[in-house]
């Protein structure tokens, strides 16, 4: 009987020579990219910021690919199965506006001020305490999350291929270490671009075969309406009024919490993303980086949410107590539908996505550590060759810390969730501080650190207070065990609380203190131009169809239209 075999391990894949051949070739190419990229490294800026020389199409795809880690892919498919089309909020309202804002509004500040990292912007705009607070929390967060990526990869490989955890951890970390220590950020970015295409090549067959299996789009809609999600599964905004019935809560949380605070906070201040834009070859390319990245972001939900819904239909009891967890959606579909061949490509894409997530975090870590912490506070004024060497050493250290974190997470799996929760508290208020800093000349240096601290504390406090607010429970029915709370709403409203706390404290402290002299704010604030900036009339204008304004507004228009279609 097939059933008992399936029950033994329904996720276990049978890869054959063809699949392994595909995998081996892929990873040989990954290392080759690292080796070849090494030739283009002579300065620390080459190593840590790709020499600021990359074309927009590469940085744009790397920008989106750094975010398209496997946790994101598997997680979004799981969300698709659990929440239905409302998951699209994480893409449309929860990413595109922020990406457009970064490209059109903030990149001129980041790129024009020649800061080499996001924390460095804070150092120049505010003061050293603000800088250290952000640089340290970001550095620690990002290297620990690299470890989380590594652990998640090991778990998947154990389930899919039967490899022991420690084998996957060491081998995967070894690959990442090789290509980013050799190739630096260029190696990381090039591999992210390659990985983007391989991921598409891995997901597309799942969607094609899956949709054929359930009878096309109409068949999927009909089948899903018989699942616990019901007919509302394909509507993203239904039930978002007050009182709410939508799985993501009410529109206030979705629009202001997710769409504004969390989304802008991540896309405009997370250095793992902004770093890709800073590595572009000029301001226009830097601006177009997030704008180019917005287009795939708009359409990727069709490759992640649809598999989630298909899995909900074809896998019995998915996500319920007697079935497999939602996170298994994509691996289960790979097993069910893909023959050897495309299966190998899908595995390559999946493994590469995990590794690229780890690489993006380590490459952001090494830049912030080398420039913001080591060079600024520990060993100043050394030769550039010294900092290049430091960058390489820090890269190795970052990977080792990641390995250590992965092993710890293997022992205490809840650690992963705590790490991510803790760092979400630090992320939440960032955008408030940045927004005020960029547009209000008066903001005083102390307002930076105090605002960030207040926002972080508010996020943490709100998270625990929220458990006692009945509004966040379905139907308003308070649950003493806290188990049924709408975690998404808790998250979104917590972000709003952090933003408000940060903004209020920033304003109060500013009004009580003294601003920085305008001479120190050149290029950092709206209305204080950088006298050293290149003359705009000399900068070559991009062709009309590549102008940032067109790209940005075009992305917003498409998102708006799609949102109407899936209302």
Partner 1 sequence: MSQNETQPSAPQSAAAKLFDLRVLIGGLFTFYGMVLIIAGLFASPAEIQKASGININLWMGIGMLFVGLLFLLWWRLRPLPPPVDPARDDDAASSQSHHAS
Binding to partner 1 in span 283-302, by CB under 8 A: none
Specify the DSSP class assigned to residue 85: G
Does residue 113 bind partner 1 (CB under 8 A)? yes
Asked whether the beta carbons of 258 and 495 are under 8 A apart, the reply is yes
Nearest to 144 by CA among 364, 351, 449: 364
Does residue 482 bind partner 1 (CB under 8 A)? no
13, 48, 58, 505: residue in contact with partner 1 (rule CB under 8 A): 58
Does residue 377 bind partner 1 (CB under 8 A)? no
Show the tokens assigned to 149: 């990526």
From residue 135, how far is each of 132, 138, 141, 369, 394 by CA, in Å? 5, 5, 10, 8, 15
CB of 516 to partner 1, least distance (A): 12
User: What is d(CA 124, CA 130) in angstroms, rounded to the nearest whole number?
Assistant: 10
CA triple 195-421-370, angle to 5 deg:
60
Output 374 or 499, the one with its CB closest to partner 1: 374
231, 325, 532, 541: residue in contact with partner 1 (rule CB under 8 A): 532
226, 379, 385, 514: residue in contact with partner 1 (rule CB under 8 A): 385
Does residue 45 bind partner 1 (CB under 8 A)? yes
- Specify burial of residue 469 (Cβ count, 10 A radius: 0-12, 13-18, 19+): middle
Does residue 50 bind partner 1 (CB under 8 A)? yes
User: What is d(CA 546, CA 557) in angstroms, rounded to the nearest whole number?
Assistant: 16
Asked whether the beta carbons of 132 and 311 are under 8 A apart, the reply is no
13, 27, 48, 51: residue in contact with partner 1 (rule CB under 8 A): 51
Binding to partner 1 in span 179-218, by CB under 8 A: 186, 190, 193-194, 197, 201, 204-205, 208-210, 212-213
| Phi/psi of residue 54, nearest 5 degrees | -90, 145
- Specify burial of residue 369 (Cβ count, 10 A radius: 0-12, 13-18, 19+): buried
User: What is d(CA 478, CA 476) in angstroms, rounded to the nearest whole number?
Assistant: 6
Does residue 372 bind partner 1 (CB under 8 A)? no
3-class state of residue 482 by DSSP: coil
User: What is d(CA 349, CA 159) in angstroms, rounded to the nearest whole number?
Assistant: 16
Nearest to 308 by CA among 202, 196, 238, 233: 233
Does residue 103 bind partner 1 (CB under 8 A)? no
Output 38 or 482, the one with its CB closest to partner 1: 38
Does residue 277 bind partner 1 (CB under 8 A)? no
Does residue 124 bind partner 1 (CB under 8 A)? yes
Nearest to 192 by CA among 347, 44, 355: 355
Does residue 23 bind partner 1 (CB under 8 A)? no
5, 9, 43, 226: residue in contact with partner 1 (rule CB under 8 A): 43
Output 323 or 339, the one with its CB closest to partner 1: 339
Does residue 52 bind partner 1 (CB under 8 A)? yes
Q: Phi/psi zone of residue 456: left (φ > 0), alpha (ψ -120 to 50 degrees), beta?
A: alpha
Does residue 383 bind partner 1 (CB under 8 A)? yes
Q: Site map for partner 1, 224-253, x if CB under 8 A? A: ------------------------------
Show the tokens assigned to 124: 């120049």
User: What is d(CA 518, CA 133) in angstroms, rounded to the nearest whole number?
Assistant: 24
Does residue 345 bind partner 1 (CB under 8 A)? yes
Q: How many residues touch partner 1 (CB under 8 A)?
A: 57
Does residue 342 bind partner 1 (CB under 8 A)? yes
337, 354, 425, 493: residue in contact with partner 1 (rule CB under 8 A): 337
Report which secondary-structure segment, H or E, holds 83: helix 70-83
User: What is d(CA 485, CA 470) in angstroms, rounded to the nearest whole number?
Assistant: 9
Question: In the chain, what's the furthest Cα-to-Cα distance?
Answer: 78
Stretch that binds partner 1, among 38-46, 93-101, 438-446, 464-472 (CB under 8 A): 38-46
Does residue 520 bind partner 1 (CB under 8 A)? yes
CB of 551 to partner 1, least distance (A): 19
13, 27, 46, 352: residue in contact with partner 1 (rule CB under 8 A): 46
CB of 399 to partner 1, least distance (A): 23
Does residue 37 bind partner 1 (CB under 8 A)? yes
Binding site for partner 1 (CB under 8 A): 18, 21-22, 25-26, 29, 32-33, 36-37, 39-43, 45-46, 50-54, 58, 113-115, 120, 124, 186, 190, 193-194, 197, 201, 204-205, 208-210, 212-213, 336-342, 345, 375, 383-385, 520, 522, 532, 534
């Amino acid at each position: 009987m097939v059933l008992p075999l399936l029950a033994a391990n329904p996720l276990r894949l049978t890869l054959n020579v063809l699949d392994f051949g595909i995998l081996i070739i892929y990873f040989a190419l990954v290392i080759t990219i690292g080796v070849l990229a090494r030739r283009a490294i002579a300065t620390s800026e080459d190593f840590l910021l790709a020499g600021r020389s990359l074309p927009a199409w590469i940085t744009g795809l790397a920008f989106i690919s750094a975010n398209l880690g496997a946790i994101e892919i598997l997680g979004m498919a799981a969300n698709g199965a659990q929440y239905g089309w409302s998951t699209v909020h994480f893409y449309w309202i929860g990413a595109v506006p922020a990406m457009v804002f970064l490209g059109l509004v903030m990149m001129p500040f980041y790129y024009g001020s020649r800061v080499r990292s996001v924390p460095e912007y804070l150092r120049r705009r505010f003061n050293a305490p603000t800088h250290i607070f952000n640089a340290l929390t970001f550095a620690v967060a990002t290297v620990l999350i690299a470890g989380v990526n590594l652990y998640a990869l090991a778990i998947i490989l154990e389930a899919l291929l039967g490899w022991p955890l420690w084998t996957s951890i060491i081998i995967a970390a070894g690959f990442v270490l090789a290509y980013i220590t050799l190739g630096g950020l260029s190696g990381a970015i090039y591999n992210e671009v390659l990985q983007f295409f391989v991921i598409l090549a891995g997901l597309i067959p799942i969607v094609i075969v899956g949709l054929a299996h359930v009878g096309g789009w109409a068949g999927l809609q009909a089948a899903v309406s018989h699942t616990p999600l019901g007919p509302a599964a394909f509507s993203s905004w239904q039930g978002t009024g007050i009182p709410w019935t939508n799985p993501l809560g009410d529109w206030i949380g979705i629009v202001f919490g997710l769409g504004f605070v969390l989304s802008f906070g991540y896309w405009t201040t997370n250095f793992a993303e902004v770093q890709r834009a800073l590595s572009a070859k000029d301001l226009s390319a830097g601006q177009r980086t997030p704008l180019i990245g917005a287009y795939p972001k708009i359409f990727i939900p069709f490759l992640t949410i649809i598999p989630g819904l298909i899995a909900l239909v074809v896998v019995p009891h998915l996500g319920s107590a007697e079935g497999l967890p939602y996170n298994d959606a994509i691996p289960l579909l790979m097993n069910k539908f893909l023959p050897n061949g495309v299966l190998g490509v899908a595995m390559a894409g999946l493994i590469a996505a995990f590794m690229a997530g780890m690489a993006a975090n380590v490459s952001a870590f090494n830049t912030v550590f080398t420039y913001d912490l080591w060079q600024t506070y520990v060993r100043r004024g050394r030769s550039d060759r010294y900092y290049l060497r430091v960058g390489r050493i820090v890269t190795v250290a970052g990977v080792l810390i990641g390995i250590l974190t992965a092993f710890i997470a293997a022992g205490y799996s809840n650690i992963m969730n705590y790490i991510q929760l803790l760092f979400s508290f630090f992320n939440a208020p960032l955008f408030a501080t940045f927004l005020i800093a960029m547009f209000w000349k008066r903001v005083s240096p102390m307002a930076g650190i105090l605002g960030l601290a207040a926002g972080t504390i508010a996020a943490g406090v709100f998270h625990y207070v929220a458990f006692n607010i009945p509004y966040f429970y379905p139907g308003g029915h308070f649950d003493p065990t806290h188990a049924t709370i709408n975690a998404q709403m808790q998250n979104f409203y917590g972000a709003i609380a952090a933003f408000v706390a940060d903004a209020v404290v920033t304003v109060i402290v500013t009004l009580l203190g003294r601003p920085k002299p305008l001479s120190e704010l050149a290029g950092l604030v709206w209305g204080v131009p950088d006298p050293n900036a290149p003359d705009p009339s000399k900068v070559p204008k991009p062709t009309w169809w590549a102008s940032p304004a067109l790209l940005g507004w075009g992305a917003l228009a498409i998102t708006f239209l799609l949102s109407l279609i899936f209302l």
